[in-house]
Amino acid sequence: MIIPVRCFTCGSLIADKWEPFITRVNAGEDPQKVLDDLSVRRYCCRRMLLSHVDIIKEVVNYTRPI
């Protein structure tokens, strides 16, 4: 859904790296190089960014209007 603010394992801040990461990967850059450039070194943090599936646009369709 929404990228978690912190890594589940180590607690490092990762939410601020999501936009640059997804923008550069969608532009065709190698995810490994992008993560290295963003200084994401730990495997647990890399996992959080690589395995995230952004489905918020699909979930919003099922919410009730207020």
Task: Please report the pLDDT score of residue 17 as a whole number.
Answer: 95
Buried b (16+ CB within 10 A) or exposed e, 8-46: eeeeeebeebbeebbebbeeeeeeeebbeebebeeeebb
Domains and CATH numbers, the chain: 1-66 (1.10.10.60)
* Cβ–Cβ < 8 Å for 42, 12: yes
d(CA 41, CA 57): 30
In angstroms, what is the C-alpha Rg of the chain? 13
What is the mean pLDDT, run by run of 10 residues, along the chain of 66 residues? Answer: 88 94 96 96 95 84 79
